[in-house]
Amino acid sequence: MTASKQTEVKIHDKLYINGEWVAPAGAGSLDVINSTTEEVMGRVPEGTAEDVDRAVQAARAAFESWASTSPTERAALIKKISESLAARKAEIATVIANEVGMPLPLATAVQAGMPAMVMGSFAKLLGEYSFEEQIGTSLVVKEPIGVVGCITPWNFPLHQVVAKAAPALAAGCTVVLKPSEVAPLTAFILAEIVHDAGLPAGVFNLVTGLGPVVGEALASHPGVDMISFTGSTRAGRRVSELAAQTVKRVALELGGKSASIILDDADFPKAVRSGVNNCYFNSGQTCSAHTRMLVPRGRYDEAVQIAKEAAESFTVGDPRDGKAKLGPLVSEVQRDRVRGYIKKGIEEGATLVTGGAEAPEGLDRGYFVKPTVFANVRNDMTIAREEIFGPVLSIIAYEDEDDAVRIANDTIYGLAGGVWSQNIDHAKRVAKRIRAGQVDINNGSFNPMAPFGGYKQSGNGRELGRYGLEEYLETKSLQL
């Protein structure tokens, strides 16, 4: 590694509680590792349950005043935060490219650009949303639910924070944030921006730490009215269990094993290549990735060949250069987990078309995994059942349309999916049969104002747009 690529170690030794940067209760700290160099790039406090309690008390004290502000006042502050996020886009992108491994041009557009856009969308929404509705002799009002605990993942570290904090703040709630300890650095940038924007003390609070300590303290705290969690289904079950003790509202965005159905009349080269791109986005570290590609048996070999060529066109390398299409995975643990799944696929009889569990050539340092394609996959194989969270695609043959829908729905998950057909109406009919929260038709683009969330064990509740705002509101009837 050249000296010019070395990353300065960013030390954060304070938490943001009640409008101030304060010393944590404990002395522990957590290292943040650069996924390309495997070197320490940052350090954050290892928060404790005592820190969570301080943050919750601050959020409780600030709630009544913040809840009583007008939507116009809240919108002005949220717009200011959005503008500051946009102004620091290059800095945010660099941090996330180092933490998570997304190539810098993509990190700039997605990891940094999307949070600024989503934050701004809630400022705009506040100007249009009605918090009151007359129904007969009743006035129905929407009110903020209270103190919200946000527990967020590492794969889209700032976007997932904003997707929770922005609607919560827009609704009039106060927030205690626990970001992933694997990629927490942009949460500190957000806290700095919030502070400079002039958000009242206690409205936004940041406590870093480990899930079993800080996350569990937040989920079980009686002073928290709602938990919004994004992460693994296993962790989501634990959050639900703890939150149930105080019957707080829980919104969960969990795992996925999404299927893309390529119908016989689709543009096959385009559909297969797009499917590979979708699966490998963010090195496969995307909960809504289409990791199962379902193709008609009569065109199976054609699809496998196109997927092989597409996968082998993915250059793997340093995400900071802006040249590689695929960066590393986020951590050693994640890399080893994905390699384990690749080995499991081979053991269970799937055909390794390209890729594999070995390190990519010339990349012994960094958490890199080869872009991998499996053929002759059955839907009962481990690689077709479990969320891998890496650049691993399983291609599954189906007999007819009903069989394709059956296979797509034969999963505990229901987060996303895709349908490809030259007949849009046909594609819509098939998409409506897929039990998932969002289905892309012919690679339909992501819409930040449309609801995002899952069916089944992919979670409950929705994020983004009006549906995301309403997650953080209680409904009250005034009988007149």
Structure tokens at 20: 């101030």
What is the SS3 assignment for 450?
coil
CA distance 42 to 55: 23
Three-class secondary structure assignment of 147-193 = EEEEECCCCCHHHHHHHHHHHHHHHCCEEEEECCCCCCHHHHHHHHH
Helix (H) or strand (E) holding 420: strand 416-420
Structure tokens at 196: 């400079």
Local structure of residue 213 (DSSP, 8 states): I
User: Within 10 A of 135 (CB to CB), how many other CB atoms are there?
Assistant: 8
CA distance 315 to 323: 8
The yes-or-no answer on residue 150 being catalytic is no
CA distance 464 to 125: 11
Q: Which of 287, 387, 463, 471 is catalytic?
A: 287
Q: Which of 46, 181, 216, 253 is catalytic?
A: 253
- The two beta strands, 290-296 and 351-354, are unpaired
Q: How far apart are the first and last CA of the chain?
A: 71
Burial (0-12, 13-18, 19+ Cβ within 10 Å), 231:
buried
Local structure of residue 282 (DSSP, 8 states): G
CA distance 291 to 391: 8
Spatial contact of 377 and 364, defined as CB atoms under 8 Å apart: no
The structure tokens 């590609």 sit at 293
Spatial contact of 466 and 422, defined as CB atoms under 8 Å apart: no
Spatial contact of 66 and 19, defined as CB atoms under 8 Å apart: no
The yes-or-no answer on residue 253 being catalytic is yes
The structure tokens 């806290």 sit at 191
What does the DSSP assignment read for 68-126? TS-HHHHHHHHHHHHHHHHHTHHHHHHHHHHHH---HHHIIIIIIHHHHHHHHHHHHHH
| Residues near 335 by beta carbon (within 8 Å), at least 6 away in sequence | 328, 329, 367, 368, 369, 390
CA distance 475 to 24: 37
Catalogue the active-site residues. 253, 287
